Structure 1
């Protein structure tokens, strides 16, 4: 009996010990669920998320095909391009109207001293200029609205493509319109942004000429301007905008020339941009059928929306995208690097005022500029049914290497069967 009693006592002690340990585990889990512990674990979460992303192997470059002109039956392509790895371009792939051109004259290492001020940290930027000459037979070519795509090569590695059009039939908005849209009213800034994002759409989001496209927040039509030189029927473009003063120009100047481009005004409330709106962004249903688009774009939209609105828009984007469709969105991502640069005073935006799971530069007008913790935004994207394909950090916080001004995410609607 003594042995049996001892065994029961031992078992009882083990059970009591297990109960205590279980209580401790529950307490630790509850502590982990608290905001402070989640913040402390965000680096681990972000590392896991990064492991799920298909890393980008494209060489980080910046440049602009700034001049496309025809003189004496010669097509001149002039611009500049530089690698953030300090390499100089050694060749180009040239495509005109979708046809690859093999034979052309190329001048490299052309002086570009004016770029040294804009990019003081880049080596060799003062030799980043190039000039391409392509003689042609005038009778064999109609150049109007023809798209030129240059792929810079650095020791065989491809950089971001440079895009522009020949003899565009679409005018550029007036200086008054451009001042409303930002950029100081410069025609050159409008073209640079338009064709830079067209290069992102083509190369990063793999946009095809026959894709059906939705732009959320189409503004003055800056993105649509470049797309109008690329998308061809049965490809199509739909864009909606909340600011009435913007929508008139693309309706008059783009839709009349490109009937497959459609722009519509929606009266969504935004404290900064449309305080008279009668529909909240978190309740707005995109006016399109399910699975209508191959690609959705949002440039500088999530940068003016708070958490609940962003999460709702992700659901709507998922709904209107076809299976396997992609979304390119620009945003401000807060992570160790960008937060360090903000602390050091190197960022152009001081995201130091915390709201509901987001940060602003101005608590009295929060929608003027909003940033999100990177791990949180990636989590919401995943919960909405997307996979993050790639991400490209921007220059907004003072990075030495970047793709655009804002951070860019490429996300894909995954087929639930997979």
Structure 2
């Protein structure tokens, strides 16, 4: 299995079991340095374009943790589109995002509103997406079998706080 991750700081090295190749990218050089120090066998690169650093149809899985939470919606769409290009038919993409519908995310939004009211700068872009947007983009790009997991859902794993979505590249016909 070949897997890639954008937002490489999440230490995906623990997921290396069962994968013959895992690579990761991030836009922040310090995160790449931290990752390679902790996971020396992990292939990690600084990559700032809204593209996936992989050949066409070369990946079984792509994971974006805390990427779509900090970029504009247009770049989210570009990442989804290029993820589709990089995935093998039947490959999976999973990503995390923030949404207003999640009660855990609303205080974060209101904190940002209060900072702006007080004339304080926002230190980081936090982007809130809607499931309907993601579903529309996925359909337009060609993904299928979409499933969402609420950030507070601890049914099959510890809660992630961010909402997750998984989707599959349609198998070749």
With structure 1 as the length reference, what TM-score do the two structures score? 0.36
Q: Which has the higher contact order (CA 8 A, sep 6+)?
A: 2
- Specify the alignment match of 2:37 in structure 1: 252
Provide the aligned C-alpha RMSD in A: 2.9
Q: Give runs of aligned pairs for residues 307-326 of structure 1, distance below 5 A.
A: 307-326=73-92
Structure 1 residues 404, 249: CA separation in 2 closer, same or farther (over 3 Å shift)? closer
Q: Which runs of 4+ in 1 moved over 6 A?
A: 360-363, 399-402
Q: State whether residues 100 and 106 of structure 2, in contact with CA within 8 Å, keep that contact through their aligned partners in structure 1.
A: no
The runs of 5 or more residues in structure 1 that have no matched partner are: 1-210, 269-280, 354-359
Alignment of 1:348-387 (within 5 A): 348-350=107-109, 365=122, 367-387=124-144
Q: Cα offset for 1:361?
A: 8.5
- Alpha-carbon distance, 1:351 to partner: 6.1
Aligned residue among 9, 28, 52 for 1:243: 28
* TM-score of the aligned structures, taking structure 2 as reference length: 0.81
Deviation at 1:416, TM superposition (A): 5.4
- Partner of 1:368, secondary structure, is coil
Larger radius of gyration: 1
Structure 1: how far apart are the matches of 2:89 and 2:114?
37
1:226 aligns to 2:9 (yes or no)? no
Residue number in structure 1 paired with 2:46: 265
Q: Return closer, same or farther for 1:215/1:351 CA change in 2, 3 Å cut-off.
A: farther
CA deviation vs aligned residue, 1:1-58 (integer Å, no higher than 9, x gap): xxxxxxxxxxxxxxxxxxxxxxxxxxxxxxxxxxxxxxxxxxxxxxxxxxxxxxxxxx
TM-aligned CA deviation for residue 378 of structure 1: 1.5
User: For 2:64 and 2:168, how far apart are their aligned partners in 1?
Assistant: 14
What does residue range 275-294 of structure 1 map to in structure 2 within 5 Å?
Answer: 281=49, 284-294=50-60
Residue 147 of structure 2 aligns with which residue? 390
- Paired with 1:406 and 1:393, the residues of 2 have a C-alpha distance of 7
